Amino acid sequence: MRNSMRLVSAGVTSALFAAIVGLGAVDAAQDKQTPASEKNMFVETPAGWKHPKTAWGDPDLQGTWPINYVGGIPLERCRGGRAGVPAPPCDQNKAFLTEDEFKARVDAINGRGNRYADAMKKGDLGAAFNAGNTDPTTPQRQTSLIVDPPNGLLPELTAEGQRLSAQMRSSWAKSPDEVLTFDSEQDFDTWDRCITRGMPASMFPFRYNNGVQILQVPGYVVLNLEMIHDARIVPLGNRPPISPKIKEWMGESRGRWEGNTLVIVTTNFKAGASMTNIGVVGAPEGNRVPTSEQMKITERLTRLNDQMMVYEITTEDPVVLTRPWTARFPLKLDNSYVWWEYACHEGNRTIPDYISSSRAERAQQAKESNP
């Protein structure tokens, strides 16, 4: 079980984070001590710390940075629970918990114990499975992954975005009363079909398979993703762009260094994958936030000490969004993270089984209504 290896708390980190305005200023002052505060997203830079370098002189970001570190933070602030369950009272303009609120959350997590081990002792295999296949999360003071717009919500869709959303299909319902039917593979989203989660959804935490491994060689950075075994190969430097006729699910990326910050700009997207994913806490239901070929994503990865990084991602898509949006959160280096195979591939039997079950169910309903 996953939990026997991962769901053991190593203590709660104090490296939390809040909004940041200029990571470039952090780059310039990394030889000075920077106490943990909102200005540097509660991540301390020790006095005299120097950014590690690769053998060829690039800033070194290599290692495994699991996204489940922030898996308990909702994508959208104050978003209600699934299946229409209302959210508890929430201040839409409150970006961070107070110290007392955060301490209470930490105490609650610490008092929970090891749910996998407890369930196994009781012989409750169902509870053990549910606990064991979910990656642990670390309490944070953020109240949403989205930091812009300031209210922590996704921007409104354009009229074209609404039209495209209405045409999207998925095995995940948008509401409890939506009736889903399946007659072909086109009635499923790209994640259902084990093709991709797409972008930017692939860079947000999920219930499991949260590994993000950064590899570097001269001229390239690779972001290797555990979920759906996507590998993002990012050439560095002033390479010419590829033809706009070439479209890819994960887009075509180009990277550059701004001080010690890795900046990645990705274009040339193939339209069709959902911009968000139901598996992310606080994400819209139904996997039906569209993307277009004009989407552009800019990421910034800045290491602030030996164990912590700040990750920022801005998504622009003028076809479907009324304005861009930005998420920002910390990641913690964890080279002990255990990488599991994501055993899912396009063409597996799940999709045909959904289709045959849906057809049989409708045939039975028709037979019962017309005896």
The length of the chain in residues reads 371
pLDDT of residue 80: 60
DSSP state of 34: B
Are 160 and 271 within 8 A, CB to CB? no
Instruction: Kindly write down the DSSP assignment for every residue of 114-162, as one continuous string.
Output: -HHHHHHHHT-HHHHHHHHTS------SBS-SEEESTTS-PPPBPHHHH
HSE of 178, CA atoms in CB hemisphere, 13 A: 14
Residue 300: strand, helix, or coil: strand
Alpha-helical segments (H) within 204-310: none
**β-strand partners of 78:** none
Residue 184: strand, helix, or coil: coil
Residue 359: strand, helix, or coil: helix
How many whole angstroms separate alpha carbon 308 and alpha carbon 44? 9
Q: Which residues contact 311 (CB under 8 A, 6 or more apart)?
A: 65, 203, 299, 300, 301, 328, 329, 330, 331
Residue 26: strand, helix, or coil: helix
- The dihedral through the CA atoms of 61, 317, 253, 64 has a sign that is positive
Instruction: Kindly write down the DSSP assignment for every residue of 304-331, as one continuous string.
Output: -SSSEEEEEEEEE-TTTBSS-EEEEEEE
Structure tokens at 355: 């289709």
pLDDT of residue 187: 95
Structure tokens at 125: 């295999």
pLDDT per residue as tens digits for the range 253-305: 999 999 999 999 999 999 999 999 999 999 999 999 999 999 999 999 999 99
What residue has token string 């898509």?
A: 317
- Structural domain boundaries of the chain? 51-94+149-369
CA dihedral 37, 40, 43, 49 (to 10 degrees): -120
pLDDT of residue 133: 72
pLDDT of residue 112: 65
Low-confidence ranges of the chain (pLDDT < 70): 1-31, 38, 80-88, 111-113, 132
Which helix H or strand E contains 216, and what residues bound it? strand 212-217
pLDDT of residue 205: 96
How many whole angstroms separate alpha carbon 39 and alpha carbon 135? 29
Q: Which residues contact 289 (CB under 8 A, 6 or more apart)?
A: 154, 157, 165, 274, 275, 276, 320
pLDDT of residue 13: 34
